Amino acid sequence: MKLLQALGLNLNILIAQFINFAILLFILYKFGYKPILKFLDERKNKIEQGIKDAQEATEKLKKMSEKEQQIIVAAKKEAKNILEKIKKHAEEKQKQIINKTKEDIGNIINQQKAQIRVEKAKILKEIKQEVGTLIVNALEQILEEKMDEKKDGELVKKVVEKLNKKSELKD
């Protein structure tokens, strides 16, 4: 004790200061250090959770990106299939249209041929009648006598029949 007094220290004051320091340390720990540590722990947990969430989001993004790629590939395949179907359908339609057009052209040609045959027969008939009339007139002038109508008709029929036979042989 004498030593402490020689140094100018009072033991009662030193103990009181030690008690004050302990109380101050307890109060700082309880109301300062503990809330700061709690705040730092919460902050640390939030940061760790944020990092974890960011990693999960990155993984989800990768998965979504992969799914997106799969969806794009599937959509491209489907679009390709649809285009192929449309192309096949268009080709079939084109073939149908071409075949129908060929049929229509064939029908028109056949109709025109039939019409030409009818007109040809009509014209030949008219020509034969004209030729018959011309022959009768020529014969009348040559014989210088007029035949009666009955003989005239028979002669025209005979001439027309002979001409028909000759034209049939030519056809």
Reported as a single tens digit per residue, the pLDDT across 89-105 is 999 999 999 999 999 99
Of 8-22, 63-77, 79-93, 132-146, give the lowest mean pLDDT range: 132-146
Q: pLDDT at position 103, please?
A: 94
* The pLDDT of residue 144 is above 60: no
Instruction: Look up residue 119 and give its two tokens.
Output: 């007109």
For residues 131 and 163, the answer to whether their CB atoms sit within 8 Å is yes
Which of residues 171 and 57 earns the better pLDDT score?
A: 57
Q: Give this prediction's pTM.
A: 0.41
| C-beta contacts of 109-117 below 8 A and 24+ residues apart | none
Task: Give the Å distances, CA to CA, from 32 to 25, 68, 148.
Answer: 10, 52, 156
Q: pLDDT at position 142, please?
A: 64
> Please, which residues have CB within 8 angstroms of residue 10's CB and are 6 or more apart in sequence?
4
Q: What span, in angstroms and rounded, lies between the C-alpha atoms of 129 and 147?
A: 18
Instruction: Look up residue 4 and give its two tokens.
Output: 């402490």
Tokens 């944020």 correspond to 50
Reported as a single tens digit per residue, the pLDDT across 31-56 is 888 888 889 999 999 999 999 999 99
Residue at 95: amino acid letter: K
Which of residues 21 and 163 earns the better pLDDT score?
A: 21
Q: pLDDT at position 23, please?
A: 95
